Structure formats: structure tokens, C-alpha cells
Amino acid sequence: MRRFEPGDWVRVDIPDTEDPDFDQFHGRHGEVVDVLEDDAGQETGDERDAHLFTVEFEDGSTHGFRWRDLRPAPEG
């Protein structure tokens, strides 16, 4: 089951301050614009990991995140 769908407004919430994406993305809001599927869920044993959510930010940049790094956010 996918947690987010294209059009959903999300907040990036990376709990690990050592994550290389933390400084650039933590706390930013954006819109899910695409959902890709891969075999990461088979690798981790958690089917939620099989989805990579592409988030577009207000400046037009995009980045892919797994479910654990995203939270629902009020529409912006």
C-alpha cells in the first residue's frame, strides 16, 4: 500500500541528522509528483519500501524519498 499519491502535499521529516539529505531537505514542503516502484521492499522485507516518492519543491527542484522521510502537510 502506498502512503502518498501524486498531488499530496508533504513535509520532509528526516530523523537522522547524519543523513546526507538532512541539511538540504529536512523541514521543506512540497508536492508528490510521481511514485516509482522498485524492489527495495523485497530487500528490506517491508513492502512500503517498494515506493519512491518524487517530491517537487516550490523552486521547481525534485528529489526522491522513501515513506519514512515524509509526513502529510497542510496544503501550501
The span from the CA of 3 to the CA of 14, in Å, is: 16
Task: Name the residue with higher pLDDT: 11 or 38.
Answer: 11
Write b or e for each residue in 45-63: b if 16 or more Cβ atoms lie within 10 A of its Cβ, otherwise e.
eeeebbbebbbeeeeeeeb
Helix (H) or strand (E) run with residue 56 in it = strand 51-57
pLDDT digits 0-9 by tens, 16-73: 999 999 999 999 999 999 998 887 767 777 787 789 999 999 999 999 999 989 999 9
- pTM for the whole structure: 0.86
- Written as one string, the DSSP assignment of 4-31 is --TT-EEEE----TTSTTHHHHTT-EEE
In the chain, what are the domains?
A: 9-72 (2.30.30)
Q: How many of the other CB atoms lie within 10 Å of CB of 5?
A: 9
Please tell me the predicted confidence (pLDDT) of residue 76. Answer: 59
